[in-house]
Chains A and B, each alone.
Chain A
């Protein structure tokens, strides 16, 4: 009977899909323990103010309330943060955004918890708030932090852009603005924590960074790092919003004050909006110059990132944005300035497309503008300037690794969806205008310079003869756990039924960095491959021992066994598992992602996260229909061509592309965190809308395969790149359809009607 082995390049079902379709999978939010207490947070409700007092007496008096904690109950620094530790666990002196936590309640049940929170009154001395990053930069602006509102000003430059503009035949200018976006994972931020008899904390939490969480908690609460165990089950979505402590420090604090009882914290949807992290709103000013034949020559841009009340990964987001501000193009002279600014708005942090989503809108619209001024096709101008391996990018980094934007654009250009698009456009019905738009994008992979992008993989043969992978990186739905099983299965010649994976657990698996930056399959995958090769060698040698062979040649791993091909004798894996001690059945290996070697000035400004040297690429095409009467934009078709080195699992690759397109489409058409004086006006799924099954069209996905020789089986991460293209592609299509050039997202029906000045043909 033929067994279907795991093989690289094969469309492979997700290893964890069975548990998910039966409801057996336990996400963090599904975990519970006996004698539970529920913890919840009193949020400021005020964007900027000094705390004069907190009246908790009624809350304490409520039957079923176990404890009410404030800043005074926090030993340690009371500061959390991934890089900049500027965020309080519980606000002591002042609050800086409406979601700032002021008190923590522990109660017997959720209803009592809610009631208790409503009974807490905070006496504030309101301070004037600042809600616009450009206002925040003015000298008279209210200070969000004592250190000033400018978190970071940086410059990325190559050549001499100012002089180079004088050499250009044509210069175009424009400005753009994009709002905050919500991750909107369906499983909100949550966790469960308890104290062990030895005083250590165990926490099951929906997190992208279990190993780093320990450091954040320890630093914030004055604990020892190794007294904290974090278990990271599969997440019900993350997209960057669970990178960095969300519930972790509050939950650990609660566990310390729960009299030994386990504590659960789960942010309901509204709290997730108010307290959770957001994509940075950004304002962009662009100036792009080229020669008459379309060769790009100079780029200048000013980028203002509103990082909200706390830094989170604001500087790193801006750094990556600046690195990508010129798009996947060769521009010999660039001057890119960025300001990362504190305001009293909700906290901006990591989100899929991390700073790049925003600037991709800017540069791609500029390319369309340039194309129209030059009378060039939008595809040709992109092809003409598209980066090739060996070029220097807009940040000055030499692209020594795989660089596939040219084949992406060429593939798109040859496809009938592009070549026949004119026919489709001409067939628009009454009151409909049709257009197509394209976007070329890239997205860096990995952490960049300044910190090791490292993973440590452990793989083992169990006593029962199974292969167990000890995963170091969280799986938030991107399917990296499945990819690891596929890789291990490929090398060790097993089928899925003989594979096991342990999701990250700081007691059982090894530090491997966060699930972010498109890095996990690449970095952990590389470590895993080495570990598997080591284990394979070891197992073959042990099998030779069992079979009394004087060499391992002729021995091969097969599902469940090692076979000596010349004699046909088998050594079952479970025999090896029982014969050899555990320490002899394990292989551990580390991998660190290579970094850019170019000496870039700006790298000194950015301590971490800049620059990068691996990029994935994509070219997208959007088919759009605009309704003349309502301005409504419908995406009727979508085509994505993506380059990410070799493809490990075509199904997994497509899943990531589809999902990225869907989030990008939401970003482009309907998602906006609406703010008024720092307060979110739409903190729920009624007011903040994401695409439904009727909003995302059929998406055609083609992959262009190159080989990333440093990557596991030649792959690169593509989790983020697809998110960056839909907004500019749709904007380009709307301009093609209706002639209106929109500079703000989301691209709303109202903005289309306004821009086209359409009443209904008669006065309106």
Chain B
């Protein structure tokens, strides 16, 4: 019989980890429980983080926003800190799954599942977010780009929990953009996605750029070369087209039931052109 623990605090969670080091951990269950109930996964023990208040909530930390890992997507959409300071992330979260999925799924789950199509990831990468990993022994911070190592693979240790995501408020940018491409308009797994943070000077010259793509590689793809190609110029079809060509060489998409690699590669570049009309 499968055990399910429902710890009410981090203290209790450490005890659960001690008793069941092999336990599978979830908050909303919108990924783990699907696999568990359909038999793809067979964890002997489940730990549900839903009752641990310490893992929830969004805090203003001056230069940073600290997002509790077990904050649901719906809660994040209602959070003015996210709406006002992290608009690209907000836009990405608004497109995840459906309202029902968003009511249950959490940002921590989205990160730890580490699907290349995880919609919170591209914006978090552009903002160089850091994950706060906690264990009984303490806490450590890690850049998200180091934390995610491959599709569905992270550096989370056995008795560690992703406690929070720290996002430095991207005040140095004035254009926050996210676009997701799916096969339908809701309940759609991203086929290609792109987050873009730019700083445009009053005359329109690009001074700073942070770009990240989802669903076009084993993990989120960033492309310094494309960013640098944009800096110093204006956002025109020509300059974006050049950057797009660079990006198409940087991405490494696969073909699957949703889309083929060619489409993903082409669109990953095309999405840059949307920046000419982004606000």
Mark A residues whose CB is within 8 Å of B: 114, 118, 270, 429-431, 628-632, 634, 669-670, 674, 681-682, 686-687, 689, 691-695, 748-750, 753-754, 758-764
Contact = CB atoms under 8 A, between A and B. Distances in A.
Mostly helix, strand, loop or mixed at chain B's interface? Answer: helix
Given A430-B277, A692-B184, A693-B186, A630 B271 contact: yes
Given A430-B276, A694-B186, A695-B186, A750 B237 contact: no
Contacts of A682: 257
B216 interface: no
Contact of A632 (B38, B181, B248, B269): B181
Given A629-B273, A750-B260, A764 B187 contact: no
Interface in B138-195: 181, 183-189, 192
Given A629-B270, A692-B185, A749 B241 contact: no
B257 A674 contact: yes
A593 B186 CA distance: 44
A429 B238 CA distance: 19
B205 interface: no
A761 B241 contact: yes
Contact of B245 (A114, A632, A693, A763): A763
Nearest to A759: B266
Contacts of B265: 764
Nearest to A118: B39
Given A630-B271, A692-B98, A750-B259, A762 B241 contact: yes
Contacts of B188: 689
Nearest to B187: A692
B272 A670 contact: no
A630 B181 contact: yes
Contacts of A754: 263
A694 B185 contact: yes
B241 A753 contact: no
B32 to A, nearest CB: 15
B15 interface: no
Contact of A762 (B98, B238, B276): B238
A750 B264 CA distance: 9
Nearest to A681: B257
Contacts of A687: 257-258
A763 B248 CA distance: 10
Nearest to B258: A687
14 contacts: A118-B39, A430-B277, A628-B270, A629-B271, A630-B270, A689-B187, A689-B188, A692-B186, A753-B263, A760-B270, A761-B241, A762-B238, A764-B245, A764-B270
A758 B181 CA distance: 16
B185 A695 contact: yes
Contacts of A429: 277
Interface of B: 38-39, 98, 181, 183-189, 192, 237-238, 240-242, 244-245, 248, 257-260, 262-263, 265-267, 269-274, 276-277
A114 B40 CA distance: 13
B267 A753 contact: yes
A760 B263 contact: no
Complex A-B, nearest 5 residue pairs according to Cβ-Cβ distance, in ascending order: A762-B241, A694-B185, A629-B270, A750-B263, A692-B186
Contact of B273 (A674, A689, A695, A761): A761
Contacts of A695: 184-186
Nearest to A750: B263
A750 B181 CA distance: 11
A179 to B, nearest CB: 13
A670 B187 CA distance: 13
A430 B240 CA distance: 15
Nearest to B269: A760
Contacts of A764: 244-245, 248, 265-266, 269-270
Contact of A761 (B39, B237, B259, B267): B237
B244 A689 contact: no
Given A692-B185, A758-B266, A758-B270, 16 more contacts: A629-B271, A630-B192, A632-B181, A682-B257, A689-B184, A694-B185, A695-B184, A749-B181, A749-B263, A750-B259, A750-B260, A759-B244, A759-B269, A760-B272, A762-B242, A764-B248
Nearest to B266: A764
Nearest to B189: A686
A632 B263 CA distance: 11
Contacts of A634: 185
Contacts of A692: 98, 184-187
A359 to B, nearest CB: 26
A749 B266 CA distance: 12
B273 A431 contact: yes
A129 B220 CA distance: 40
Given A629-B267, A760-B269, A761-B237, A670 B245 contact: no
Nearest to A269: B38
B183 A760 contact: no
A681 B186 CA distance: 21
Contacts of B184: 669-670, 689, 691-692, 694-695
A431 B278 CA distance: 12
A720 to B, nearest CB: 24
Contacts of A628: 270
B179 to A, nearest CB: 8
Contacts of A114: 39
A760 B241 contact: yes
B70 to A, nearest CB: 24
A118 to B, nearest CB: 8
A270 B258 CA distance: 18
A634 B189 CA distance: 17
Contacts of B260: 750
Nearest to A115: B39
A164 to B, nearest CB: 42
Contacts of A759: 244, 266, 269-270
Contacts of A686: 189
A763 B185 CA distance: 29
A630 B267 contact: yes
B91 to A, nearest CB: 16
Contacts of B273: 431, 629, 760-761
B244 A762 contact: yes
Contacts of A674: 257
Contacts of A670: 183-184
Contacts of A694: 184-186
